[in-house]
Structure 1
Amino acid sequence: MSKSFMEKLLEGASVEWKALGSVADIGTGSSNRQDEDASGIYPFYVRSKTVLKSDTFEFDEVAIIIPGEGGIGDIFHYVEGKYALHQRAYRIRITLDTVDTKFLYHFMRSGFKQYILLKSVGATAISIRKPMIEGFCIPIPPLPVQIEIVRILDAFTELTTELTTELTTELTARKKQYNYYRDQLLSFEEGEVEWKTLGETLVRTKGTNITAGQMKELNKYGAPLKVFAGGRTVAFVNFEDIPAKDVNREPSIIVKSRGVIEFEYYDKPFSHKNEMWSYHSKNEGINIKYVYYFLKMNEPYFRSIGSKMQMPQIATPDTDKFQIPIPPLAEQERIVDILDKFDALTSSISEGLPREIRLRQKQYEYYRELLLSFPKAEVGPT
């Protein structure tokens, strides 16, 4: 798509610019959050991307919805039909036959945020008032041109939605398949294998005395030593930042014991906060990753133990005394090999999904900018 395409599309027609207030009816709703009814049949637009439900409606029209504060320039809803509206959200209803609402929707997604940011310079919190929306200038090419632009941009949006749905469905199916085979591979008949506790099978390692503030201060891009905290919080630091006795160089299972209780496998040098602990193996008959997969399968059990506390957490005896099956080493390695392949496949889809969505979004934005870049002229009368 090029400039010549746009020239051909316009066929020499001029593009008038008008203030939005001169071509639209703009106002807010009258509903509040307490008017939400999960069993309602009408969409209820508030100040977020999430659309709630209501059992009553205020408007029956084609319109664009934007928040009056929070998410300004990032949240746009295109609505057709009956809906309810929050008192701090704005509706924009086109009143001119020569302007297509969906065309305006795409144009506002392209340029409204920059316009609002320029209008809000110096403000501690960004919020908008009706005159600011009314003053936003929009191009008005011939209606057939607007409709063609909408067709092209809607097609990009639809492709992104289809791709997201397909990849999400594929990811869900792979996860189910992975869980099925994992459960099958890690289930043993009574007396089939020996069972031992983690405490007698593995070596438990303590963490290092480090605060969240210190982790943030020491964190350096490209540093070689990973320090784990709860959840997804990590820092990368230099080896000299952590006492040598607190650095673990063995492939290990890290126990995240507070908040979100889970296990993580890591096979490079690392450390972790001292309220956590980790396990590694000195036993040649134990494959540590096999134990990790067994613990991962049993995360719901450990979470059920932790849920008894006000802040979900488990203690070292909960894992030390937990029993694991010990099949022959060759069988452990076979199980790990199979599950690694499933895990890699699932991870590739998990990582690929947001990457593909970002790619499609950039593609949409690229063509949107091309299609909506009209020569600027003096704004017509309001």
Structure 2
Amino acid sequence: MSHIDKLIQELCPDGVEFKALSDLTTKTSNVRWSDTAKESYRYIDLSSVDRVTKQIHQTVEITTDDAPSRARQLVQSGDVIFATTRPTQMRWTVIPEEYDGQIASTGYCVLRPDSEQVLTGFLAHSLGTETFKQYVTAQQVEGNYPSIPDTRVRAFRLPVPPLEVQREIVSILDKFTALEAELEAELEARKQQYEHYRTELLNPGDDAEWSTLAGVSKHVSSGGTPKAGKAEFYEDGTIPWLRTNEVRFADVWETEVKITEEAVRQTSAKWVPADTVVVAISGATAGRSAVTRIPLTTNQHCCNLEINPYQADFRYVFHWIASRYQELKALGRGARSDLNAAIIKSFPIPVPSLAEQRQIVEKLDAFDALTTDLSVGLPAELAARRKQYEYYRDRLLTFKELEVQS
């Protein structure tokens, strides 16, 4: 019998009480922008939290002058936040010390654990369980952008074993996540090595011939957003519709949202072919790039480059744009640093022979696979660790409910 089994047998042999999250968490508060005197905050929006690592990876500084309407919730270290927009994506994180007193979007349900009843780590691990995901799936409000009200999140009933049992469970599960973090760090180092290698391979010589992205493209276009709420544009849609938050320096094989033939007929969301290079032009995503591996449509914040195969290899163009992300992003204009089609079309690109381009692509694609392909190397090991963690998490966080004596 394991130590945790002994603890359960000793402290809660007949089961544990289940309580609503609302009874296990304490009150939070919103910022009063009128009282901030232009003090700056780091803003945690829905794209700030990585769905896989559960870490906050990108925020922006905001003040009362430029705060988005959803920037309202003050968070403290130890809070657990769960994204209520597209909740089945299971986007959640624990607020670390460095984000204490910062601002989170109202697109998150902020859960502040009552430490006398539930540990932060126990609550956080519980939000990843299959049981919670099934609950969220059943309780979400369907629509173009599915969501779940905070009240329904807080109504979820969590098993609450004694704190000593919680600590032991958290200790075990944290060891799994620590191993994942080590692999993540190693993978990140490999990615940095890849970026250095890519820069060297793409470095143009003194005698390089230059063109522009427009010069190597046979067609440049953008898309559109079918009006939200019109069922005929989204209901039972089968046409992939790409948004900029899905443009992530990678191949695009599917999209989160589908639209209908009627949407394509009536709006500017038009088809683009496979092997199109897409560059995001809006806000936080500006400058990011991707390659469509299927025919799809896009929103208006995507600049779509259909590459002329007699001028350039589409993957060579993608690698070049990705390698010049910071340079391209720096050309953004306005408060949100947006790009536009004119900026992207005029962006310079060296154009070696097609044979040389393909040699470069072959080398970069092979190295890229070492950092992204889930079937080999570090990505495969990391995926295996995550499956192992998920198995033990769901097993350790499953409890018999204590029967209430009448």
TM-score, length basis structure 2 = 0.57
**Pair 1:277–1:197, CA change in 2 (3 A):** same
Q: Which amino acid aligns with 1:200?
A: G
Q: Which amino acid aligns with 1:232?
A: E
User: Is 1:300 the counterpart of 2:300 in the alignment?
Assistant: no
- SS in structure 2 of the partner of residue 314 of structure 1: coil
- RCO comparison, higher one (Cα < 8 Å, 6+): 1
Matched residue, 1:195: 210
Displacement after TM superposition at 1:331 (Å): 1.7
Unaligned runs of 5+ in 1: 21-25, 39-43, 55-68, 77-89, 94-100, 118-123, 128-135, 141-145
Q: Which amino acid aligns with 1:231?
A: N
User: Is 1:178 the counterpart of 2:206 in the alignment?
Assistant: no
Which of 95, 99, 113 is residue 50 of structure 1 equivalent to?
95
In 1: Cα distance, 2:150 partner to 2:328 partner: 43
Which of 158, 174, 184 is residue 168 of structure 1 equivalent to?
184
Spell out the pairing of 1:75-224 with structure 2 (5 A cutoff). 76=113, 90-92=114-116, 126=151, 153-191=169-207, 193-211=208-226, 213=228, 218-219=233-234, 223=238
Which of 251, 269, 278 is residue 254 of structure 1 equivalent to?
278
TM-score, length basis structure 1 = 0.60
Matched residue, 2:139: none
Report if the CA contact (8 A) 2:277-2:305 is conserved: yes
In 1: Cα distance, 2:401 partner to 2:298 partner: 55
Unaligned runs of 5+ in 2: 19-23, 36-40, 42-75, 81-93, 100-107, 136-148, 153-157, 248-254
User: Is 1:273 the counterpart of 2:299 in the alignment?
Assistant: yes
**Pair 1:208–1:153, CA change in 2 (3 A):** closer
Matched residue, 2:264: 242
- SS in structure 1 of the partner of residue 358 of structure 2: helix
User: Is 1:232 the counterpart of 2:246 in the alignment?
Assistant: yes
In 1: Cα distance, 2:109 partner to 2:276 partner: 43
Q: Which amino acid aligns with 2:220?
A: T
**Pair 1:8–1:240, CA change in 2 (3 A):** closer
Displacement after TM superposition at 1:350 (Å): 6.3
In 1: Cα distance, 2:216 partner to 2:25 partner: 68
Matched residue, 1:331: 356
RMSD across aligned positions (CA): 5.3
In 1: Cα distance, 2:311 partner to 2:279 partner: 22
Displacement after TM superposition at 1:374 (Å): 7.5
Using the aligned pairs only, state the percent identity. 18
In 2: Cα distance, 1:217 partner to 1:352 partner: 44
Displacement after TM superposition at 1:304 (Å): 0.8
- SS in structure 2 of the partner of residue 180 of structure 1: helix
- SS in structure 2 of the partner of residue 200 of structure 1: coil
In 1: Cα distance, 2:243 partner to 2:98 partner: 39
Q: Which amino acid aligns with 1:229?
A: R
Displacement after TM superposition at 1:314 (Å): 1.7
User: Is 1:342 the counterpart of 2:371 in the alignment?
Assistant: no
Q: Which amino acid aligns with 2:196?
A: Y
**Pair 1:152–1:220, CA change in 2 (3 A):** same
In 2: Cα distance, 1:278 partner to 1:335 partner: 23
In 1: Cα distance, 2:209 partner to 2:403 partner: 78
Q: Which amino acid aligns with 1:92?
A: E
